[in-house]
């Protein structure tokens, strides 16, 4: 972890800046956090794992490896190129999961890549075997980053805290919010039909809520259907919160041969 990355971190307890002492970060009020061997930091010791468990993140990693979300990366990379012109920008992925997006966007561009998630398992997976991004476990209600340090925040299928995003963004900084639309994973929801509490999914609420809090500079829909192998379908069923609470093993997914991705990307500053 280089000095510029330490420079943007702030103690989640007191807001103080950190300095490095061997394998720890120590703030000016002596709050101390270990740097793991893989380079990540846990700013939420004592945090229990939630719905998002290690197996779920492993399934997510398999789905990403299969390329299901590659067109989303492409579109997000184009949007970042268009709307974030700064040289070597700081990009923060809030609720980064196993880090697919922050590691994959704009592959040829030099930027400070930062990802955090409340799940320690996710952050551990994200940090494994890489050095290009800084990952840490933290709550987005108390992001351990300095005021005005980020050129862009990515918020991808993750809860948002708009006041925190505004605090960490530079004055000209932008939020890139991706949220599911009504067609998202429609084939999986059709297969799970009888088990679902809500048969129809309408992402409109999330989108309205976001638009009320943002000065939107651009928005686009990302919609495509692609053929998928049976093992990818099984991983998708395990990873999506849309099927949370359903015993996946009881579902007959044999008829699912293609999957629809239907999302909105909203880009803007925070009001
Ligand atoms: C549906 S997943 C999306 C993960 C990733 N952005 C992606 O699209 O692959 C939602 C993520 O939000 C994280 N999350 C939920 N509440 C959070 C909070 N309060 N602070 C930080 N992360 C949180 C979860 O641990 C999970 O990784
Ligand atoms: Zn402190």
Q: How far is the CA of 28 from the centre of ligand 2 (A)?
A: 6
Q: Which ligand has the shortest distance to the CA of 44?
A: 1
pLDDT of residue 201: 72
Question: Which residue minimizes the CA distance to atom 1 of ligand 1?
Answer: 157
**What backbone torsions phi and psi does residue 45 show, to the nearest 5 degrees?**
-60, 140
Residue with tokens 């809090």: 213
Assess whether the C-beta atom of 126 lies below 6 angstroms from ligand 1.
no
pLDDT of residue 12: 96
- Pocket probe mutation, ligand 1, options 97, 176, 177, 201, max atoms within 8 Å of Cβ: 97
What element of type H or E holds 224?
strand 214-227
pLDDT of residue 202: 74
Instruction: State the distance between the two ends of the chain, measured CA to CA, in whole angstroms.
Output: 33
Q: Which domains are assigned to the chain?
A: 44-270 (3.40.50.150)
Condensed to tens digits (0 to 9), the pLDDT of residues 80-124 reads 999 999 999 999 999 999 999 999 999 999 999 999 999 998 999
Measure CA 55 to chain center.
17
Assess whether the C-beta atom of 256 lies below 6 angstroms from ligand 1.
no
User: ∠259-260-265 over CA atoms, to 5°?
Assistant: 140
Assess whether the C-beta atom of 142 lies below 6 angstroms from ligand 1.
no
Contact 115, 99 (CB under 8 A): yes
Q: Which ligand has the shortest distance to the CA of 28?
A: 2
pLDDT less than 70: residues of the chain: 50-52, 198-200
């Amino acid at each position: 972890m280089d000095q510029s990355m330490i420079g943007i971190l702030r103690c989640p307890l007191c807001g103080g800046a950190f300095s490095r002492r061997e394998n720890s970060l120590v703030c000016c009020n002596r709050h101390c956090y270990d740097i793991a061997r893989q380079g990540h930091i846990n700013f939420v010791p004592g945090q229990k794992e939630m719905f998002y468990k290690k197996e779920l993140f492993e399934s997510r990693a398999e789905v990403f490896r299969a390329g299901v979300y590659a067109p989303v990366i492409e579109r997000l990379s184009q949007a970042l190129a268009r709307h974030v012109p700064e040289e070597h920008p700081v990009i923060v992925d809030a609720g980064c999961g196993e880090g697919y997006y922050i590691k994959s966007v704009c592959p040829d561009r030099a930027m400070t890549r930062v990802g955090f998630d409340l799940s320690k398992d996710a952050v551990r997976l994200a940090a494994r075997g890489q050095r290009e991004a800084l990952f840490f476990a933290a709550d987005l209600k108390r992001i351990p980053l300095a005021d005005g340090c980020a050129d862009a925040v990515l918020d991808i299928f993750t809860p948002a805290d708009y006041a925190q995003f505004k605090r960490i963004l530079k004055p000209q900084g932008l939020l890139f919010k991706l949220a599911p639309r009504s067609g998202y994973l429609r084939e999986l929801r059709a297969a799970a039909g009888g088990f679902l509490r809500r048969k129809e999914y309408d992402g409109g609420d999330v989108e309205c809520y976001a638009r009320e809090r943002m000065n939107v500079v651009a928005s686009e829909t990302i919609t495509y259907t692609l053929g998928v192998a049976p093992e990818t379908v099984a991983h998708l069923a395990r990873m999506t919160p849309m099927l949370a609470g359903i015993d996946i093993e009881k579902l007959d997914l044999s008829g699912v041969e293609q999957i629809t991705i239907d999302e909105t990307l909203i880009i803007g500053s925070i009001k």
